[in-house]
Structure 1
Amino acid sequence: MSEIVKEPSMLLQKEMIARNYEAITSKHETGRKVSSTFVPGNLNELLLCFDIVNNLPEINAIQNGMRKLSGNYIMDAEKSGHSEDVCTYVKADIGMMGAGNIAPNGKPFPKPDVLLLSYTGCYTFMKWFELLREEYKCPTLMLHVPYEGDGHSTKNMRDYIVKQLKEVIIPGLEQVSGIKFDIDRLREALRNSAKAEDNLVWVLESGKHKPSPIDAYFGGVYYIGPIFTAFRGTPDAIAYYDALRTEVQARIDTRQGPITPDGSNFNDQRYRLVVEGPPNWTHFREFWKMFSDEGAVVVASSYTKVGGMYDLGFRHDADNPLETLADYCLGCYTNRNLPTRVDILAKYIEEYEADGLLINSIKSCNSFSAGQLMMMNEVERRTGKPGAFIETDLVDPRYFSAANVKNRLESYFQMIEQKRLGTAKAA
């Protein structure tokens, strides 16, 4: 199958991610320290203060899924005793380590100098880091983030996180890096983050236009790459989101839709969807094409919020540097309770004038999949718009059935048409 045709911003973010992999794998030549950490709640601005390169195991698993390598890695991990029900990101990572631990640039990953875990709603993260700690025998720093079980954070929660930052995380990073913490350097990174976040929100909210100039799910995973990984807080992130905004504005000005996997502009947008849950990575192009072939554009998604709910108003605040890191971690999508997630999805349906909610339930990801049927039913009740449910997995190709997914999507689009016909008759 041919490669996905990409927008200029997609190519730019690909180059940025490649540059970070080069920084990681050249650690022995440059002398820079390397951390392993996760996307939701990551403390990239803080790591920048210590010149630590940020490596993200989730992103490595995604890369291996898109390169068709994850299936064998997962089976190797299962042969060594990991259950079929374990998150496939974990098994892809463990399997990769057993197969030489090769990065996407073809060079071996170095051992991390520190494992930095910001716990944000996924218990698997903690077990994953136990396995990595056993493998690498390196320092492990854990920032425990309280779950927003009541639908909001409290001052006590924030103070609890700030205390850990002061007493555990910052001293630990100082010891690993040999660099004294400079709060003014953190403030500068936070100002950079806020500038990039402004433009990211503008891009995501452009999905309210008709036609939408973006696909907020398939295209969106490219758009969020720099800010959710190793570049938030840097001038490079500001430059990227300036370029992305200019690109999207040009499509708005000419009433053009985003690019499709085939390279044409997606102007014939028959269905506007909100999507809940991560995409499937092993068949990403095929999955995307099922939507574009039917004229379905995703105008908003929850997955593009896992690294920060910026569209709800949060910005990193240089005037309150440690407190804003705490607020960021607390507010990540997977750290919010189910009623709050329902509120967010129903809000997207209304504000983006979507035809309905589609849930891609991930077999091995409890953080997203638990409660999704209840969420779908409640969003349907509130909005009057139909919902649908498909099932795939993150990076395990055994759980992507193209025929089943296609049939369910076609049935869903027929349901939307019937709903429209019924609304027209009632009017």
Structure 2
Amino acid sequence: MSSDTTRIDGKPEVVKEPSMLKQKEMIARNYEALTSAPETGRKVVSTFVPGNLNELVMCFDMLNNLPEINAIQNGLRKKSGAMIMDAEKRGHSEDVCTYVKADIGMMGKGNIAPNGKPLPPPDLLLLSYTGCFTFMKWFELLRHEYKCPTVMLHIPYQGDGRITPEMVKYVVKQLREEVIPAMEKVSGVKFDIDRLREYLRESAKAEDNLVWVLESAKNRPSPIDAYFGGVYYIGPIFTAFRGTKDATEYYEMLRGEIEERLRKGQHPITPEGEMEEERYRLVVEGPPNWTNFREFWKIFYEEGAVVVASTYTKVGGVYDLGFRHDPDKPLESLAEYCLGCYTNRNLPQRVDMLVQYIEEYQADGLLINSIKSCNSFSAGQLMMMREVEKRTGKPAAFIETDLVDPRYFSYANVKNRLESYFQMIDQKRRAAGAAA
């Protein structure tokens, strides 16, 4: 397998496999299309990752801009801290989601995209509400700023842990009567359901291969890291490429690479090359920290800790539990997708998922990275941790960082807690060995 390298901020060379290079090119191309919209005349929709209706957006020849992804990009480039502080000076609380504050701060600095060009104002705000109440306040702020048309797709919460036919009908009715007409009006393009069906066919192909890749972590050694490496794998399908042939090709390429790694019995690729030894297999709950992503990951791979399953890689779709976009029921499929997103699932469902992951992936335990400013993930996590420990008998640990606020990442604190956790796993193993 061939690979390439690049440098980030003058740090050691980062291994880049062909699929990662393709993914990087895809993301860059989308930013180029977005920043060129004033010249090309294409309309821009701002929306969110959970409940992302990319296939529908493409039906109207519109471009998909995702505020969370912009915040992540600024976090990775270590630019989000200043943006967050600017937003706080404008009156936004320290406890507000740092994605929101990074976005507000980005506006004040010219809305510059990673390619160095300004992002255009959105022509439509599409709020697909999937369990994160912050989204509503976020779009209220954006609507005040941009004064553009706004449409809300309300997604009922899975309070009882299931999706009912009535819930699906409710969402489909909104799609037909509110969302699609708004998109037709803004874009000037008539809705074509056959075009939507074609995009959904491509989505299902990509989803099949993504699930195969994530489930490859059931092997020993795991050929992937399903949290740190996983954030690269989900990039195209969670953003502006689900439903495209580009995404289909990317996931075919990625699967081929992982198949080769499995055949060779290789460990996951890290920023410093192939991991040498798999000592701990973990399930992780919660998003990663983006401002110190490399340092955060390094703590894990230096200890031989591989994340074999994570909930974060399910925020844009829980495909490994069976859902696929279905061209035979296009609008119903979009509704079921939104209803099934991880943040729209109740706490017992999330606990069930974590327990299933620990058992199916033969993990040594659960690690929760609690995000200070993210209530959608953090609410109930201590209860979830205790319940998972009780049901699996495996040890769990709790650390706290933030999404894109560098003030809430303490390398020494995180490292000490993780080292203590790995010692706890070792002690459990020794006790189990002695009992046997």
TM-score bucket (shorter structure) = over 0.9
C-alpha distance in 1, partners of 2:45/2:57?
8
The amino acid that maps onto 2:137 is K
- Structure 2 counterpart of 1:420: 429
From 116, 137, 150, give the equivalent of 1:127.
137
Which residue of 2 is the match for residue 269 of structure 1?
278
- Structure 2 match to 1:87: 97
Tell me the equivalent position of 2:341: 332
Matched position secondary structure for 2:33: helix
For 1:147, the aligned partner's letter is Y
**Of 238, 262, 265, which residue of structure 2 is paired with 1:255?**
265
Cα distance per residue 1:42-68 (max 9 Å; x no partner)? 100001100110000000000000000
Question: Which residue of 1 is the match for residue 192 of structure 2?
Answer: 182
Provide the C-alpha distance between the structure 2 equivalents of 1:151 and 1:266, rounded to a whole number of angstroms.
Answer: 38
TM-score, structure 2 normalization: 0.97
Alignment of 1:285-300 (within 5 A): 285-300=294-309
Helix, strand or coil: the match of 2:117?
coil
Whole-Å separation in 2 of the counterparts to 1:168 and 1:3: 49
Residue 361 of structure 2 corresponds to residue 356 of structure 1: no
| Cα distance in 2 for residues equivalent to 1:38 and 1:235 | 22
2:418 aligns with one of 387, 409, 412: 409
Q: CA offset at residue 10 of structure 1?
A: 1.8
TM superposition shift of 1:3: 5.0
Does residue 54 of the first structure (1) align with residue 64 of the second (2)? yes
Structure 1: how far apart are the matches of 2:15 and 2:382? 34
Task: Decide whether the 8 Å contact of 1:211 with 1:267 is kept in 2.
Answer: no
Q: CA RMSD in A?
A: 0.7
Alignment of 1:391 with 2:397, yes or no, is no
**Partner of 1:7 in structure 2?**
17
SS in 2 for 1:117: strand
Write the distance in 1 (CA, Å) between the matches of 2:13 and 2:89. Answer: 32
Distance 2:354 2:24 in 1: 29
SS in 1 for 2:14: coil
Partner AA of 1:190 in structure 2: L
Q: Counterpart in 2 of 1:232? A: 242
Is the contact made by 1:207 and 1:352 (CA closer than 8 Å) also made in structure 2? yes
Choose the corresponding residue for 1:280, options 289, 292, 304.
Answer: 289
What are the superposed Cα offsets for residues 151-193 of structure 1, whole Å, 9 maximum, x if unpaired? 1111111100000000000000000000000000000000000
Which structure 2 residues correspond to residues 31-46 of structure 1 after superposition, within 5 A? Answer: 31-46=41-56
Shift of 1:257: 1.1
Q: Give the Cα–Cα distance (whole angstroms) in 2 for the partners of residues 36 and 24 of structure 1.
A: 11
Alignment of 1:199-210 (within 5 A): 199-210=209-220
Alignment map for 1:114-193 (pairs within 5 Å): 114-193=124-203
User: Is residue 4–residue 285 contact of structure 1 (8 Å, CA) maintained in 2?
Assistant: no
2:310 pairs with 1:301: yes
**Following the alignment from structure 2 to structure 1, what is the Cα–Cα distance between the partners of residues 62 and 126?**
11
- What is the SS of the residue equivalent to 2:15? coil
Q: Distance in 2 between matches of 1:286 and 1:11?
A: 22
For normalisation by structure 1, the TM-score amounts to 0.99
Aligned length, in residue pairs: 426
**What is aligned with 1:22?**
32
State the partner residue of 1:321: 330
Shift of 1:218: 0.3
Q: Secondary structure at the match of 1:115?
A: strand
Q: 2: distance between equivalents of 1:390 and 1:319?
A: 44
Per-residue Cα deviation, 1:279-307 (whole angstroms, up to 9, x for no partner): 00000000000000000000000000000
Whole-Å separation in 2 of the counterparts to 1:4 and 1:124: 35
How much has 1:370 moved relative to structure 2? Answer: 0.4
SS in 1 for 2:412: helix
1:7 is displaced (CA, Å) by: 2.7
CA distance in 2, matches of 1:40, 1:418: 39
Q: Deviations over 1:370-427 (max 9, x none)?
A: 0001101100110110000000000000000000000000000000000000111111
Distance of 1:350 and 1:291 partners within structure 2: 21
CA distance in 1, matches of 2:197, 2:208: 17
Structure 2: how far apart are the matches of 1:404 and 1:9? 34
CA offset at residue 338 of structure 1?
0.3
Paired position in structure 1 for 2:5: none
Give the Å deviation of 1:6: 2.8
- Partner AA of 1:307 in structure 2: G
Task: Specify the SS of the correspondent of 2:419.
Answer: helix
Q: Aligned to 2:74, which of 54, 61, 64?
A: 64
- 1:14, 1:61 → 2: CA distance? 17
Q: Which amino acid aligns with 1:266?
A: M
Cα deviation for residue 260 of structure 1 reads 1.5
Contact 1:50–1:174 (Cα < 8 Å) also in 2:
yes
Query: How many angstroms apart in 1 are the aligned matches of 2:387 and 2:298?
Result: 29
Give the % identical residues.
Answer: 79
AA of the residue aligned to 1:319: D
- Spell out, residue by residue over 1:216-237, the C-alpha distance to the aligned partner (whole angstroms, 9 max, x if none): 0000000000000000000001
CA distance in 2, matches of 1:142, 1:333: 19
Q: Quote the Cα distance in structure 2 between the aligned partners of 1:312 and 1:252.
A: 23
SS in 2 for 1:5: strand
Give the match for residue 342 of structure 1: 351
